[in-house]
Amino acid sequence: MDIINEVKIFVEAECKKPSSKYGYEPFPFHLVPMVNYAKTLARELKADEEIVVLAAWLHDIGSIIHGRDNHHVTGATIAGEKLKKLGYPNEKIEQVKKCILNHRGSGKSKRNTIEEQIIADADTLSNFDNIPGIFKAAFIYENKDQGQAKDAVREKLERKWQGLHFESSKKLIKERYKAVQLLFNNHQA
């Protein structure tokens, strides 16, 4: 079995556990789309596809196992341990860990490699595929009312769009971004 498939199986199993902080939903609604975006960008931008795909599968493992607080740090640790157990080369483990450490948009991370930038962009792009999940987080985890949630989701998606590194990324979701702008445009009576 190849390492990417082993990592995918590991992440899916963690999502299925009763102890998973967000249940199984992150797997089909966030991780699968993110991996697809990451692969597309890695191929188009001539990045190391294996590093990118492994980091995409593992980027939120800290959140799945321990919760959102410092999930980039806990995730990098978990990813390093898992990849080491699978016999993955140390220098490549470090590249995957850097992608995970620097994927968060809310952190002021310095993304030094194209692989790190791709992971951050793919994470952002998957948000445009999972707007119901962003609302769920606003309602359930952030305890916002409808107006607050609408404003928070609109602002988050706008920040994410503005933070994309590549024109290739914007091209992938340009129509969704336009649709979001239409949906969230306030119509005053």
Report the candidate in 50, 75, 176, 76 with the shortest Cα–Cα distance to residue 125: 176
Asked whether residue 54 is assigned to any structural domain, the reply reads yes
Query: Which domain covers residue 13, as residue numbers?
Result: 3-183
Asked whether residue 83 is assigned to any structural domain, the reply reads yes
pLDDT over 90 percentage in the chain:
78
Asked whether residue 13 is assigned to any structural domain, the reply reads yes
125 pLDDT band (50/70/90 cuts)? very high
Asked whether residue 7 is assigned to any structural domain, the reply reads yes
Tell me the whole-structure pTM to 2 decimals.
Answer: 0.91
Mean pLDDT estimate for the chain: 91
Asked whether residue 9 is assigned to any structural domain, the reply reads yes
Farthest-apart Cα atoms in the chain, separation:
62
Residue 117 phi, psi dihedral angles, 5° rounding: -65, -40
For residue 69, give the H/E element and its range. none
Asked whether residue 43 is assigned to any structural domain, the reply reads yes
User: pLDDT tens digit string along 63-121?
Assistant: 999 887 888 889 999 999 999 999 999 999 999 999 999 887 655 667 789 999 999 99
Question: What domain count does the chain have?
Answer: 1
Residue 118 phi, psi dihedral angles, 5° rounding: -65, -45
CATH of the domain at 156: 1.10.3210.10
Asked whether residue 188 is assigned to any structural domain, the reply reads no
Report the candidate in 186, 188, 142, 135 with the shortest Cα–Cα distance to residue 157: 135
Asked whether residue 86 is assigned to any structural domain, the reply reads yes
